[in-house]
Each structure stands twice: as structure tokens, then as C-alpha cells.
Amino acid sequence: MTDCRLPNAPPALGGHHRIGANRVDLTAAWLEWLVHGAGGELMLFASVGILLIGVDDLLFDLLWLYAGRGKVRPPSNKSEHEPLEGKFAIFVPAWDEAAVLASTLSRTLDAWDGEDFRLYVGCYPNDVPTLLSISPLIARDARLRLVIAESAGPTTKGDNLNQIWTALGEDERADGMRFAAVVLHDAEDVVHREELALYRRYLDRHAMVQIPVVPLVDSRSRWIGGHYCDEFAEAHGKELALRSRLGVALPSAGVGTALTRDAVSLLALERGGKPFRADSLTEDYEVGILIGAYGLRACFVDAVDAMGERIVSRGEFPDRFDSAVRQKARWIAGIAFAGWDHLGWPGSRFSERHVPAARIWLARWMLWRDRRAPLAALILLAAYAGLILSAFGPVGEGLFDWEDVAVDEPMRGLLASNIMLLAWRLAMRVHFTARCYGVREALRAMPRAFVSNCIAILSARRAAALYWGMLRSGRVVWDKTDRREAGGAASTSLLPRATTP
């Protein structure tokens, strides 16, 4: 009969003690498998994933460098085309915006004094605080037009925009005129005084114009709110700039976006008179992709005014962890999950059938980059879990005499490649943050990358649950971001700079 006692155990140990010793052995063996086995598999999966996404980013960066680095420059006044004439319609959808909307409207009216526009504010009949906060402004300024939805809110942002679109058509028929363009903004945006003038210079030959969106730096939320500064500085300094130069579909940011009246009418024709999808969490993004699918031209313009100030749309972003997760979950659910259902892949629409195959694959690559967020979050989760488990390896070797697991040569090469790719990614993020916000914020961008990754992981999880709930219920509800007064916590000394790279 085999002796199950632990080595060197005293003979006096009874059966009860031998069972306890075996349990210790089994627990140690299970922990060794978990650390060395599961940890190794997670690290392998994460390493391969990081390599693939890192190479994807590197190819994009090389293409950006080859195509010519985007520089912030004044828009030229010399053009073969005349600026777009006519009245602009500004769409501002609102739900539960009593804290910010009145000041935003006042600020916008002052900034665009002398411009030819009408600002439409979409509200709900049951949102009494918001209605009361803006009623004095609506009563005394003819440039404001209040649109109250037929049903109680919240519905969706797309539905709110469609209500405004219907009101615009009614006004055109009543006044015997036609608007030249539609501009999209949110309830907390800080607009630039020359924004509409810039749109006029480019909408004469483009169906859509997008300007940079620049988060204000919140001194009270350096890590949560600050990570938006890093991400938008890179996305709108490189991603959209390159896509515009390549002539592929350009996603709309939903703010700082101008569309010709004809382009919006085309979208309305396809959707039964409603240009914005009411069942989408990212209706603005889909508008931009559809503009490209129709073969219409769009451009991203990063310019400065005569005083050297960038013509951008500024605003506050969430400063709490849970709010950031909610907002990004909405983006991921709308773009990566529902967007796949709504838009498919380039090449499937009638207007794309005669487009060269190379351009179709280029557009698919860009769309893949938009939709890879859930996969990237899964890879990040595996990487962090693998790192944590691997850290227990030396502990187990010292306490439980585990066998030392050596890293083979291919894995070492893979890890070394990933370290170089991650260093490149951090360098690019630091570069764009420094370009937009200065050196101090750029130095914070490196540790903020960890915060960004944590938010991305939790956002992807919430997005999957959100999308599953949408499929089961068939309902989409406006999961809006909580607002506060723009600029209230942001230091004026921390506004984005207008320097070139």
C-alpha cells in the first residue's frame, strides 16, 4: 500500500493529517497549473494579439508619415470656388441639459454674431428644467428655434435630430426659402467664432466637413478626463487627417460637423424622410460613413484663424470613471456591434460597385480599425491577467518549490517585438498630446494610457451587455453623458495650442 504521507513527515501523523497534507499538495499543484499553465496561455494569446494590432497601428502610422504629416495651417482664402452662400441650420439635441444649455446658447450666439444662421434646439415636453432654463433666450432672440418632440423623452439622439429635421422642413415651406447646410453640435460645446466661415469655404465642394474636437483639460480630473485629451489629440491629429487625405469614408464626430442640405436630403430619401437612425447609439458616426458610401466627398479641416488659434469644437468630457465607461460603452456598442448590422462593409452598396478594389479594401481597413475595440479590450484583459498570474511564479518557486518555467526563444522574440511596438504607440500618443496641449500633459499621457486601457476593458464588457439588451428588447434609449458647464473646471491656460508639429 502506497504511503501518502508528505516527505519527512513524522510517523505519528494520523490519517486526518495525511488527508490535510494531500490537500495542501493538490492546492499547490493547482496553483502551479494556474500560474504557469493558464498564465502562459493568456500571455501567448495577448502577445499575438498585441503584435497583430501593433502591426496594424504601425502600418497606419507609416502611411501617415508617407502621405505627409498633417500640419495646422490657416485655410486659404484663395479658391477657384465661391464660398457657400445661404442660411445655416444648427442642430442641438437636448435631454436633461438644464445645467449647461442656456450658457451654451448664449456663448454661441455671441460667437457667431453677424452670421446667417438659425439654431434649432430639440427638447422634450417632460424635460421641464431644460425648457425653463432656455425659455428667456428663446423669447428674445429670433435666431433660436425651439423644437419640442411629440413624445416624452428620452428617446434617442437620432430621433431628436429627426424631429429637428422635420421642423426645418416646415420652416422652409413657411418662409419660402431653403437652408444651405446643417451643422451638428452638442449642448455643452464651445464653438469657434470662425467655424461657420470655415464651413462655407469647404462646403462648396464637399458634402461634409469635420473640424477637430478638442476636450478641455479639467484640472480636477487629470487622469479620467485627461485621457480623452490624449485620445482625441491622436485620433483627430492623425486618424481623421489621413482618412481625409486618402479620400475614404470619414466618420462624423457629431459635433463640429457640417453637412450640405443636399447631403442630408439624400440620407432622408433613403430612410423614409428621416436622415438620422433613431435606433442607433452612434447616428452621427453612421452619417459620415454613409456619405462616403454614396461616393460624396468629405474632408477633415484642421486650421487656425488669423490670430493663430485653432478652429475647433471644444467641450467638457466625463470626469468620473463610471461616466467614462458609460460613454465609451455607448460608442463601442454603436460602432463596433450595431454599426456592423447597420452599415455592413464597404463594397456592398450600389454606389460602391464601380469603385476600384484597392479603394474598397482601404475603406474596409479603416472600418476594421473603427470596429476592433472589443477585440482590443479582450487582448488587454488577457495581457493584464497574464501579467498578474506570471508575477506569482517566483513566489511559488520560493514557497512551494515550483519548477522554474523558462521562456523559449520564439516567445522572447515575440515579447521583444511587442515591447518595441508598445513603445512606438506611447511615443505617438505623447507626440500628439504635446502638439495639442504641451509637454506637461504629454508626460501625463504615458501613465494615463493605463487608465485608458482599464476604461476600454470595462466599456467593452458594458457595450456587449448593452448590445445584447438592444437585440432582446428591440429598444434603444438615449444613454446620454452627464453635463456640467463647459470651462467651469478647465483652466484657460490649458486650452489646446495652435502650434504645428
Residues 6 or more apart whose Cβ sits within 8 Å of residue 486:
100, 103, 104, 188, 189, 190, 216, 314, 315, 316
pLDDT at 486: 52
pLDDT over 80 (residue 498): no
Q: Which helix (H) or strand (E) holds 97?
A: none
| pLDDT tens for each residue of 64-123 | 998 866 555 555 555 567 899 999 999 999 999 999 999 999 999 999 999 999 999 999
pLDDT at 295: 87
DSSP 101-114: HHHHHHHHHHHTTT
Q: Which three cell numbers stand for residue 165?
A: 429635421
pLDDT at 114: 94
pLDDT at 62: 95
pLDDT at 12: 45
Kindly report which listed range (64-78, 150-164, 280-294, 444-458) carries the lowest average pLDDT score.
Answer: 64-78
For a pLDDT cut of 90, what percent of the chain falls above it? 68
Say how far apart CA 185 and CA 192 lie, in whole Å: 12
pLDDT at 26: 59
Is the Cα dihedral 178, 180, 184, 189 positive or negative?
A: negative
Q: Which helix (H) or strand (E) holds 408?
A: none
Amino acid of residue 399: L
CB 488 within 8 A of CB 415: no
What's the CA angle centered on 325, arms 292 and 340, to 5 degrees? 30
Say how far apart CA 452 and CA 359 lie, in whole Å: 32
Is the Cα dihedral 456, 459, 464, 467 positive or negative?
A: negative
| pLDDT tens for each residue of 231-251 | 999 999 999 999 999 999 999
Q: Which three cell numbers stand for residue 311?
A: 478652429
Greater pLDDT, 340 or 238: 238
Say how far apart CA 443 and CA 153 lie, in whole Å: 43
Phi, psi of 259 (to 5 degrees): -130, 140
pLDDT over 60 (residue 490): no
Phi, psi of 430 (to 5 degrees): -60, -40
What's the CA angle centered on 427, arms 422 and 428, to 5 degrees? 100
| pLDDT tens for each residue of 195-216 | 999 999 999 999 999 999 999 9
pLDDT at 33: 63
Q: Using 50, 70 and 90 to split pLDDT, how confident is the model at 307? A: very high
Chosen CATH of 37-390+415-501 out of 3.90.550.10, 3.20.20.70, 3.30.70.260, 3.30.70.270? 3.90.550.10
pLDDT at 82: 84
| pLDDT tens for each residue of 343-386 | 888 765 545 556 677 888 898 999 999 999 999 999 999 999 98
pLDDT at 13: 44
pLDDT at 32: 64
Question: Considering the entire predicted model, what is its pTM?
Answer: 0.87
Rounded mean pLDDT, 50-62: 97
Q: Which three cell numbers stand for residue 128?
A: 421641464
Kindly report which listed range (119-133, 158-172, 297-311, 349-363) carries the lowest average pLDDT score.
Answer: 349-363
CB 28 within 8 A of CB 398: no
DSSP 211-260: --EEEPPBTT-TTHHHHHHHHHHHIIIIIHHHHHHHT------SSSEEEE
DSSP 147-180: EE-SSPSP--HHHHHHHHHHHHHHHHHHHT---S
pLDDT over 60 (residue 10): no
How much is the mean pLDDT over the chain? 86
CB 240 within 8 A of CB 64: no
pLDDT at 392: 73
